[in-house]
Structure 1
Amino acid sequence: MPTPRTRPDYTADERTQLLGWLDMHRSIIHWKCEGLSDEDAHRSVLPSSPLMTAAGLVAHMRWVEHCWFEVMLLDRPSDINPQFGDVEDADMQVGGIPLSRLLEEYDRQCAVSNEVLASLSLDDTGRNTEFKAGAASVRWVMLHMIEETARHAGHLDAIRELLDGEKGYY
């Protein structure tokens, strides 16, 4: 179950604020998918971006979480992550996979990401030496993930409005 869509406290410490903003945007990802049929979740509404569906974005966000928190920060293997394969946007190619399953996988990945975050200091840096981004600090990764998640929540907002007219900020 996603966390409530609430902003962190104005005077909370840095870690609490960063995680609070990230969790809020993760929850918005869920909210934008509430009530969508599997057919609509897989329906493309952007002619120039046919893989940018609600289902494709949820899958993408799952793999982005895996990439940054597990691969870049902890140097865990990347071989299961389709972003590291030879097929462009393979992480968004989810035809036939129910939206409910994609959301569950996203939830599980976010829980793993939060476990990784709890084990590290904001000043720690990634352990992956294969990619330049592997040297990023935990703080940088959290800020990037807030940006990434919020950007795709905005995409989902537009997609949802084009699918069925549902709209709202949070």
Structure 2
Amino acid sequence: MTTERDEPAVNADERTMLEGWLDYHRRTLAWKCDGLTDEQLRTASVPPSKLSLMGLVRHMAEVERIWFRRVLADEDAGPLYFSEADPDGEFHLTGADTWQDAYGAWQTEIGLARRNAAGLALDNLSRGRRHGGDRFSLRWIYTHMIEEYARHNGHADLLRECVDGSTGD
């Protein structure tokens, strides 16, 4: 897999800019995982942390699902990897967990996120609620998702360097 990662246009309208930066950060996470084996993608950072590249991808599948399906569209979309008994389940990997499955779930959630956001104005409020009943504008959700990916892409930089020495922005 070769990941293309062009930065968004510097003079785009707000919607195009937000979607462009979100997609840029999605591609950045995919790029950080590119070319690694399942075993490398499951490699945890520094004990006792369970943080791994595959765990980050699974986490972002959950985050996409929560914000674009549960909150924005008020869909009944239960968790993929975590539970009340294991609230960090997306990071608890076994030898049976594969990149193909994690990547597939993540891409499915990205596709559903795009579907749910299509046609909505940035000021549209979510149909679902979170954090004590708050409703969120699509603009807020896009901004939050960019922040979420940017933070975790910083983790991905360090994880990738630990796995094979690769560095990059």
TM-score for both structures, normalised by structure 1 = 0.90
SS of residue paired to 1:123: coil
Contact 2:62–2:79 under 8 Å retained in 1: no
Q: Greater CA deviation, 119-128 or 155-164?
A: 119-128
Residue of structure 1 in register with 2:62 after alignment:
63
Cα offset, 1:141, TM superposition: 0.4
Cα offset, 1:93, TM superposition: 2.3
Structure 1 residues 86 and 137: alpha-carbon distance in aligned structure 2, compared to 1, 3 A threshold: farther
Looking at secondary structure, tell me which structure has more helix per residue. Answer: 1
Q: Distance in 1 between the 2:16 and 2:62 partners?
A: 23
Residue of structure 2 in register with 1:75 after alignment:
74
Q: Which runs of 5+ in 2 are unaligned?
A: none
Residue of structure 2 in register with 1:49 after alignment:
49
Cα offset, 1:81, TM superposition: 4.0
Q: Quote the RMSD (CA, aligned, Å).
A: 2.0
Residue of structure 2 in register with 1:145 after alignment:
145
Contact 2:3–2:34 under 8 Å retained in 1: no
Cα offset, 1:132, TM superposition: 3.3
Q: Which amino acid is the alignment partner of residue 60 of structure 2? A: M
Contact 1:6–1:24 under 8 Å retained in 2: yes
Q: Which runs of 5+ in 1 are unaligned?
A: none
Q: Distance in 1 between the 2:154 and 2:30 partners?
A: 12
Cα offset, 1:133, TM superposition: 6.6
Q: Distance in 2 between the 1:10 and 1:99 partners?
A: 34
Q: Which amino acid is the alignment partner of residue 124 of structure 2? A: D
Equivalent pairs counted in the alignment come to 168
